[in-house]
Each structure stands twice: as structure tokens, then as C-alpha cells.
Structure 1
Amino acid sequence: MSDPDNSVNVKGGAYFLRTLIPEFKDNGGELLLSTQATSFIQDDSGAVVGIKALQNGSEIAIHATKAVIMASGGFEGNERMLFDYMRTFPIAGLAWPLNTGDGHKMCQRIGADFWHMNNVCAQGYGFRYPGFFEVRTGLNGAGFPAKSYIFVNKRGLRFECENPNKAGGPLGHRSYLDYNRFDASNEQVNGGFDNNPFFAVMDSKVIEAGPIFRPSPNVGIRAVDPADGGLAEEWSDDNQAEIDAGYILKADTLEELAQRINEYSADEGYVMSGEALAATVAEYNGYCADGVDPDFDRPPTNADAPNLVPLDTPPYYAIRLQPSLYNTVGGPRKNYKGQVLDVDGNVIPRLYAVGAFSEATDQSYTMYGQNWAEILNFGRIVGENASAEEPLA
């Protein structure tokens, strides 16, 4: 495939598919839209010989000629599965929100073994608009145009170096592990995680410097067509629309800001005291004056700009953040041929898996379609082995 302007890496997997689908059709492939696979058809030996599906509300059966290949993506849009399998929760998916793990459930019903279910390709942290898709579809692209901000957990305490943080560094795609400390305190309300979700607390210098978010149109809720419930508008240049909507919390004092945080996150067990938040900010401001952060080694400068900048200009603001993921990577266990295995390690005949649905690796960069090694190599491996099966009668 010719790609002189590197569009595959810039525009991602959607560009790749738009390029390949015509070739797929030219070679006799048929693409069925509005068709939801629901279950496998198996013969008396247990071999998978087709699938049942709902097409525009009616059940149909699709019989295989040689094999069935599953490439139905991850479970980023399934809140229950994320809660069950992720090492920290909540976690916001940035991939297609209708990736709801339907193919995973199909494989579970016929005894497939699973792997990598608690691993993801992480994307640092992001903001979630309330109400979209009833799942935690995330918005990436946090910028914080001024550096007078810190991250605090539900107790009003810092827990990591905010800038540069692991979201933008070498651990970016497994940075969600920063947030997996379980809340085992006597004050716990819902038994969740101490550092997840968390809040960025900032002063007015950040708000006045420009938009906190500049979300990519190719990632998360911005990538969904507004006709399907996606987000059309940009983040406002002065953050005022988000303040008015209640996404960014505002208060004249840190004590009042803590109260607003508790009210905003009442269902998530927040127990932040205003005194604790004020003490945390005072301690951080002291580090700024000294030019040294002994707790988390936040450097005094970053990219030749001041980085240890105090929160000293009220009013104060806060925005709820949580770890984000590009995609899940767990799914049915497969062998080197791409054949799906059962819980005893035996091949489920004529069933294959490829892509983010069942990755051979974890914590890899797949949501944009840029994990070409896994995608293309296993695509070829699975295609060759499935086509080598004896034709079904």
C-alpha cells in the first residue's frame, strides 16, 4: 500500500481501512453493516462453522466456507467489563465507544480461555464529559498552558510529579498503573482507589493562559460523529463555557474549592477536607520558593520554562481527571497460528482471533492503528492458516 504522506500514522486505522476495503471488495469480500454478531454456530465436533447475527432486528445465520476470524476490537465501551478487569477504575476509553466486548462474550460462551484482560494501552489521563454513551468516554489533550497547578487525590494530597508526568514520558502507555493504589483507609466510602479519579487544582494564571484542553479530532468523543452522539464543539479558548457548564469548578478559597470537589464527586466517595487541600497547596508553594520538590522531584524548569510555579492567584479552579486508555488488549488466548484456545489449552477448531480483540502483546499502541507489527503480521498469519483449512461441506 502506497502511503507517501504518512497518512496511516497521522490519520490512523480509519485511513488504513478506507484504503483496504475497496481491495477487500474487489476480491469478493462482502461487508455487512447494521449486522451484530451474537453467537457461534458449531458442529457436533465443536468446530466453529458460522455465526448467528442480528441484521436490522432480524436474526440471520452466516455459514463459513472454511473458518471464522474474530476481529471485533476491545471492550473500551463496556463499563461492567472495565470495572471487572482493570487494575484501576474508573478508566476512560478513547477508542470507539461502541466497542462493547460482544465478541469476547461470544467466545466465553463456548469455553475460550482469556489473557491480558487487565492490561491496556494507556494514554495518561483525561477529562470525561458527563452523560456521553453512559460509559466513560474520555477526552484527551490536556495542556495546562500555565504551570501553577497540581494533582490531588480524594484526600487533597499530591501523589505524583505533575509535569513532566508519565503520560507524556516513557511510561505513557502504561501510566494508568500510577492510579492503582486501593483505598484501604478507615474513612473509605466506596472502597475505590485513592488516586482515581483525581483533580487538577490550579489558580487563575492557568485559566487566563488559554484552553486547558485542545482535544484531537481523531481521538475519543471528538472522533464520534455528532449525529451518533459525539462532541461537535471545541473546548472554549478562555475556558469560560466549561466553567459555566460546571466542568471546571471555581471558588474564591481552597477550602471552598474542596467542598465543591466533594459535591461534584459525591458518588465517588470523596472525603477531601479544605484544611488538607490548603495545607497541600501551602507545602507545594514552599517547594516553589525553594526551587526543589522533595516529594516527587518535579523539576524547577521544563523545556526552558518555569515549572515549579506557585498557586498564589485566586480564584482557584479544579477539574476532575481520570486515567485513560486507547484500547484494551485482552481477549481469547490464541496460539502462534492465531487459533483460539479453550481453558485446557486445546484449539477450538476453525476459530481465529486477530487485532486488539486478542493481542499477543500488551500495553501496545493500537487505537490509532499504529501497532502495525501485531496487526499486519497476525493478520497475515491468521489469513494464511484460516484459508488453509479444509472447505466445509
Structure 2
Amino acid sequence: MKREDTEAAATKGVSRRSVLKGAVAMGAAAASGLALNMGVPGTAEAMIKKLPTKWDETWDVVIIGSGFAGLAAAAEAAGKGAKVVVLEKMPTYGGNSIINGGVYAAWDSEFHYRQKLNLGDDSPKQHINDTLKGGDYYSIPELVEVMANGAAGALNWMIDEGGAKIRPTVTRAGGHTAYRTHSAVAGVGREYTEALRKIAEKRGAKTVLNSEVTWIWRKDADPKSPVLGVEVKRGRRTLNIKAAKALILASGGFSRDIKMRMAHNPRLVPAFGCTNHPGATGEMIRFAQSIGADTLQMNFIQLYPFAEPETSILDTPAVYPFNGPGYGIVYVNKLGKRFVNELERRDVCAFAQINLGANMKPTWSIFNHAMILKMGGSYEEVEAGLKKGRFIKADSIAEMAGKLGIPADALVKTIEDHNRYIEQGKDPDFNKPITKVMIPLVEGPFYSVSQWPAVHHCMGGIRINPNAQVIDVFGAVIPKLYAAGEVAGGVHGSNRLGSNAIPDAVSFGRVAGTNAAKERA
């Protein structure tokens, strides 16, 4: 049995024992109008709170979180006639989704760019297989199918109804075997969140900011007992909001909660930076556990290999190393040498850098002018990056080496070798798959961008089924409770392939919203 399996089994055992002990207290409490909540997950003590005697607000569907998953769920639920509210704890909407890199994996779109550019074949099945392999087969196949089969339709929906725009190219990202990654014109996830918000608002959904959920109301431990609503802190007021049909959790992961992430993955010490927004703290996962929800694979937390080295932000230049491998971008270290197959998965690329040693920070990606548009970039972005000092420009590889402070002879040889590998169709150094659209770094100008790994994405989370229903620790559906996006686990396995985050969140958000609206009030 692998270490991850052992850890997951141990965690599940603690959760089951906690719920069993707590349920004894809950059984007695239910008769007196008290609510189910275990307080701190992983402890046997049960926290008892009285159920509300009245509700301050009542909605058909209450959604926690206003990112990709939450807004997609809101749009679909409202479109089915439900009265919908999205509760966002932060003062602005969107969470991580707005600062996401705007890259979206789908086997096709209504523009058929892959076919028009002769970039080879692809299919939902191939996308499924890549995702399963990329996550070391820890993914739940039925969940992966929902994402891959829903990806193209969800992308077209955001384009047609929401006005989202994508660039006229498709890239091949690490771990994918096909050119299937689409890039937003805005260069960030806001392209899609704006589209989703437009659809949701047009259909009547309401978003309320500065609304922090502090409790999930569920009556008792009976498997048939539904979720009732939430307690919300809004300014100085504490409100009880009823979810007459369903509650949808779409609150994201916990990468910003250092204590929580280290509890599940002790390697991710505070010294690691984080690409996430400040609100990615995972409390909704803990609250869901407190009412009996199961979790899985919580130790699977991803590093983004290409974050800005000093601040760890995922800015627009930090997306170029991710989008570039399918067109010939090269990663080099301070010695001027390659250190990994550029088409490898994110976890491989991240640890290839970490294993170089802290004194080798940062590494760089090198590309040329001919690659910019093909890999989903824009000349305007590059110019802006040059002004900020994120991109470095040079007319020759030797000049670039001088500007980066690395040995010119070594860097020139590395690039010449890589150019030859592209021409010969074989990479003897790292066995990178060579494709016909890769561009040798022969003609300038040349550009570089610095990079270093930072904590980025939680693959584990709340256990759900293909209907986006939350599953309890006994394997039963918790009535009227759904989850979608990064808050849920099981889609990506041990490692998320880059550009799978948005199709995962939007596809499952749509499923959750559609099914929630069908629940009986």
C-alpha cells in the first residue's frame, strides 16, 4: 500500500470514529431541537448549537463561493427557476478564479482551432486518459468523465451566453498528450468569471459580498436528515439563511491556510509561497466534515512550478512557461542547462527545480518572438512584462546569458542542442515528445521569464459523486448538499494537469446547480 493510501485510510478512520461518537450525542440532542455539528473535525467532542427558530432569509438554492464553480451553479440553478443567492466572504467576487491564468482544457470548441491549425487529434476519451494518468490513477474515473465530457460544452456556453473570448490558438501543456489548452483573451480567469456572472445575473441570481459562513445547519445524524441552511456573519449582524432546496459548496481550497495544509502535507512548510488569494482557507471543508461529510486525498496539494520567484504570484508572465512547452520553450537553471522535460506534469517540473537546491533559485523559461502568439500570449502582454521587469529581452542567446548572469557558453550549447533535437524529432536528454509545430530558438528577439514553485492547488477535498452530491463518511448522500470546484476532491488524483481546473469547476458547477434546482423545497 502506498503511503498516501495509508494516510488517507488513517484520516478516514479518525473521521468515522469522531462521527460515531458524536452521533450518540446528536441522537439525544435531535429530540430537543439541537443541530448536528461536530465542531473541529478529527475530535470526538460534539459542539451543540440550537437550530434557528426562524430564518432571516430564505432562498431555494444557497451557494457558498463566487468563483467558477459557484457562478456556474448559480447560472444553472437560476435558469431552472430557482431563487438563488451566492454568498461570498470576501469584499470582491471571484476568489482565485479571477487571478487564475485563464487556461482551459477542452478537446474542442465551436471555433475548432485545433483542427484548423492541424494540431493533431483529440477526444474526451483522450482527455480522460491523460487526466487519470496525470493523477497517478488516484482520480475517480466517473468524476473525470464529467469534467472531460462537459468541458467543450461549458466553454461554448460561456462564449455564446456570457461573451467570453478565447485566443485563436491551442497549446499543449505538461502532462497532456494533445493540443487542447485554450487561452482567454484577457489572459486571466476574469474572462470566464465575468461571463459566468453575466449569465447568472441575467437569469436572476444574486451575489452578496462580505458574507462569511460560520455554520452549516443540519438537524441530526440520521442519513436522511437534510442540510437546512447556514449561519452567516455579515458586518455586525449574524444571520440564519435557509436553503429550501439545496446548499452548494463552491468555496475553493485551503492553500492559504498554512496550518491546515501542513496537517495534511507536512512538506509544504511556511517557507513556500502561495499563488492563492487570501480567502483560500478551507473552512467550508471543515464545516462539511463537521456535519458528517467525507473527504479524500487531502494530502495531495500541488505546487505551481512557474510562479514569480519573490512574491509567488501567478501573474500573466507566469503563464507563459506553462503554455510554451508545446511550441518549444526551454527551461534552464543557473548553470545554463535544462533540468527537466518541459512537457512533464507540474509536480515533476516543480520538484525538478526544488531538487536543484535553494541556491539555484530561480530558474528561467526562454522563448522567442515567433512563439508568442502561438502559445496563447500577446505582444501587448510581453511589452507590459518588459516594463515591469518580468520579461527580459535579448537579441542573442549569449546576450541573454549575460543579462541573466549565467554562463554564456553553457546556455548557447543548451539552446543549440535543443534546436537540433527539434529538427531531428528526438530529445535524448529528457525524452521530451517532439512535435512538428515546435519552433527552434534560432531567430530573435529572445525573451526569458524567471520562475520558482509555489503552493497552488488542493486536489483533495470533500467527497462527491458524479451528480455533485456530497457523500458522508458512511458512503451515503447527504441530502440537499452539493459541492463543486476545488472544494471537492477526487477529480485530479495526486496531481492536477494544468488547465483542468476551470473545466472541472464549471462542469461540476453546472451539474450541481441543475440538480440543486430539482430538489423539493
TM-score where L is the length of structure 2: 0.45
Partner residue in 2 for 1:137: 314
Match in the other structure for 1:309: 441
TM-align CA RMSD: 5.3
| Structure 2 counterpart of 1:137, one-letter code | L
Structure 2 counterpart of 1:41, one-letter code: W
How far 1:332 moved relative to its partner? 0.8
Q: How far did 1:238 drift?
A: 7.9
The one-letter code sitting in structure 2 at the alignment partner of 1:200 is: S
Partners of 2:192 and 2:434 lie apart in 1 by 36
Q: Is the 8 A contact 2:419 2:440 kept in 1?
A: yes
**Correspondence for 1:285:** 416
Q: Residue in 2 aligned with 1:103? A: 284
Alpha-carbon offset, residue 152 of structure 1: 1.9
Count of residues paired in the alignment:
319
How far apart in 1 are the matches of 2:208 and 2:158? Answer: 31
Structure 1 residues 12 and 80: alpha-carbon distance in aligned structure 2, compared to 1, 3 A threshold: farther
Counterpart contact for 1:153–1:159, Cα < 8 Å: yes
TM-score normalized with structure 1 length: 0.57
Q: Secondary structure at the match of 1:6?
A: helix
Gaps of 5+ in 1: 167-174, 217-233, 260-273
CA offsets per residue over residues 321-362 of structure 1, 9 Å max, x none? 357999755421124554423334344454332344326633
> For 1:165-197, what per-residue CA distance to the aligned partner results, in whole angstroms no more than 9, with x for missing partners?
46xxxxxxxx31432546796x8459xxx9x96
CA contact (8 A) 2:212 2:232 kept: yes
- The aligned counterpart of 2:383 is 237
Contact 1:72/1:103 (8 A) holds in 2 = yes
Task: Quote the Cα distance in structure 1 between the aligned partners of 2:515 and 2:358.
Answer: 49
User: What is the rounded CA distance, in whole Å, between the counterparts of 1:215 and 1:37 in structure 2?
Assistant: 38
User: In the alignment, is residue 179 of structure 1 matched against residue 355 of structure 2?
Assistant: no
Amino acid at match of 2:508: E
Residue matched to 1:33: 209
Aligned partner letter, 1:319:
V
Please give the alpha-carbon distance, in whole angstroms, between the structure 2 residues aligned to 1:189 and 1:125.
14
Matches within 5 A, 1:85-234: 92=275, 98-115=279-296, 117=298, 128=308, 131=311, 136-139=313-316, 141-142=319-320, 150-153=330-333, 156-162=336-342, 165=343, 175-181=345-351, 188-189=357-358, 198-201=363-366, 206=368
Query: How far off its partner does 1:137 sit?
Result: 3.3
Pairwise CA distance, 1:62: 2.0
Bigger share in helix: 2
CA drift of 1:82 comes to 6.7
**Quick check: 1:351 aligned with 2:505?**
no
Q: CA-to-partner distance for each residue in 1:200-227, whole Å, 9 max, x for gaps?
A: 247xxx48998999768xxxxxxxxxxx
* 1:331 alignment partner, one of 461, 465, 474: 461
1:247 positional shift: 5.9
Instruction: Please state if 1:376 is matched with 2:517.
Output: no
Kindly provide the CA deviation profile for residues 107-142 of structure 1, in whole angstroms up to 9, marking residues without a partner as x: 2444532235566999x97553855xxx63342552
One-letter amino acid matched to 1:51: V
Rounded to whole Å, the distance in 2 between the matches of 1:184 and 1:214 is 27
Measured after TM superposition, the shift of residue 40 of structure 1 is 1.7
Contact 1:328 1:356 in 2 (8 A): yes
Tell me the distance in 2 between the aligned counterparts of 1:284 and 1:350: 57
Runs of 5+ unmatched residues, structure 2: 1-78, 80-155, 166-190
Identity %: 21
